[in-house]
Amino acid sequence: MAYEPTIRKNPRQLTIDQHYHTAHAISMFYDSDDKVEVMDLSSGQIVRRHKRAKIFCTKRTWDQRAEKGYMVPIEDRFHEEIDNIKNFSKRDHEAISKYCLLWRLRHEFHLSSHTDVVLNGISDSGLTKDQEEILENKNCSFVREGGVVASRFSSGIEIQTLLDQHWDACSQFKWGLIEAQDGEFLVADGYGDFAFIPISPKRAFWAGESDQKINRRQLAEVNKESISRARKYYFARKISECPVA
């Protein structure tokens, strides 16, 4: 999907490549060279990529206010959980649920086409592109000629609204820690309504499950589910270590 480029050299440091699943979460699967293996479904080829590779990103799908605002605390609380695994009773289940929902919504918006919004009866603000970028960097939006508002601003608001609307459906989730005894987890680019989050080659959070260890056969079933959910790619520390049969 086309995106709006910034002024040359991006002087306002607006985020262009936005992660729908965070770079930190991807890095938990790094090999010794600080890369992961990615199965690119469009080519059928396995490639090795760093966490900030373009395949993991969407381009300016939501605005800077969303990217550096309400999304950050959700990401930070989730990172605290995956960096410091706690037992079931002390786990921050709400933090995991909110991140699961955020990942799902951002992935959906990445895959969808979004058009600019036209506000009837609203005149343009007459701003230069530099002035527009200054405003966006300060978490503001603006209107262009013909009452046009760039789609990333409406997407940022829509994602925030959907987080609130869907929260009741997952606010009571309790997340079990699943540990693989033999083999490693695959990770899909998104999981839709499947409340499952691999957090390292050997560990995953799964809503509605108790903390448990799974054998190779059970791991293969889970990995097959990840492959079935993947839309453009799936990744792992080393794909050959991830059983699927």
Q: What confidence score (pLDDT) does residue 126 get?
A: 85
Per-residue pLDDT of the chain (245 residues; tens, 9 = 90+): 578 999 999 999 999 999 999 999 999 999 999 999 999 999 999 999 999 999 999 999 999 999 999 999 999 999 999 999 999 999 999 999 999 999 999 999 999 988 999 988 787 778 999 999 999 999 999 999 888 999 999 999 999 999 999 999 999 999 999 999 999 999 999 999 999 999 999 999 999 999 999 999 999 999 999 999 999 999 999 999 999 98
CB 211 within 8 A of CB 217: no
- Model pLDDT, residue 125: 77
Distances (CA, A) of 45 to 38, 66, 232, 233: 8, 33, 12, 10
The three-class DSSP label of residue 221 is: helix
pTM above 0.75, yes or no: yes
What pLDDT is stored for residue 124 in this prediction?
76
Span between the terminal Cα atoms of the chain, in Å: 35
Give me the residue label for tokens 């390292």. 200
The maximal CA–CA distance of the chain, rounded, in angstroms, is 63
Contact 129, 145 (CB under 8 A): no
CA distance 176 to 185: 15
